[in-house]
Structure 1
Amino acid sequence: MQKPTEEEQEMILNSLLLPMMLTMIEKNGKEFELSTNMLRRYYIAATQILMNRIHAEMVKNKNELRSRQIKVFEENRMDDDLHYKYICRGYEYPFAIMRDVVRSKISVMLGEYVVGLLTKMKE
């Protein structure tokens, strides 16, 4: 049995962060729907495109983890950190991440998605 590679560790982290990011964007999208901002419909459309991309990435990531025999589970929260465990090819590993790190990583990922969308729009 082998430990997860760096790439697999990134995939494990993404399996946690992508759903959180999707939830945040969905919540903001609902706020836009209630807004009276004149750009409201553009924000809503951009939010939907972003959500579709993130969802597609989640599905791809989940399928790849499954094909590599890796499962991720949320553990009980004992403190301000988020606790998970993952099973990788028969071995079980604990995993914890601080909320501040989650926020920071999601912010960076979201920026990358937005840049990707804008780049695609220019093409």
Structure 2
Amino acid sequence: MTTVQKPTEEEQEMILNSLLLPMMLTMIERNGKEFELSTNMLRRYYIAATEILMNRIHAEMVKNKNELRSRQIKVFENNKRMDDDLHYKYICRGYEYPFSVMRDVVKSRISIMMGEYVKTLLHQMRE
């Protein structure tokens, strides 16, 4: 008899990141396009910082995706609109699980993650 091996806490975090990182990348890309159209004197610095953030987030997405793949975990969006929450499913080592995230949680987590990326960027610029 095979024992079901549910995802660990670390893997659950990776599953959540597989949803949040692309959303965050889209938000930053959209803001970057707004900067390109801006007449702000600091425009080119905002654009440069945006590109650095996008590159870092993209690298993190690739790393996260590869790690999920190596652990035999796939994440899919559930296209059925039941409510305001975001609905997904993931397959972990052959077993399928539903997964929902409240929009407020998504906004909060993205805000926290964005702060960490910016903090790291500013720290590296000071060095």
Q: TM-score, normalised by structure 2?
A: 0.95
Instruction: Indicate the residue corresponding to 1:9 in structure 2.
Output: 12
Rounded to whole Å, the distance in 1 between the matches of 2:65 and 2:24 is 15
- Structure 2 residue identity aligned to 1:13: L
Aligned letter for 1:32? F
Structure 2: runs of 5+ lacking an equivalent: none
Structure 2 residue 20 is the aligned partner of structure 1 residue 28: no
Superposition misfits of 4+ residues, deviation over 4 angstroms = none
Deviations 1:84-107 (A, max 9, x none): 000000111100001111001000
Deviations 1:19-44 (A, max 9, x none): 00000000000000000000000000
> Aligned partners of 1:101, 1:5: CA distance in 2, in Å?
20
Identical counterparts, % of pairs: 88
TM-score norm. by structure 1 comes to 0.98
2:121 is the alignment partner of 1:117? yes
Unaligned runs of 5+ in 1: none
Q: How many pairs are equivalent?
A: 123
The AA in structure 1 aligned to 2:30 is K
2:42 corresponds to which of 24, 39, 43: 39
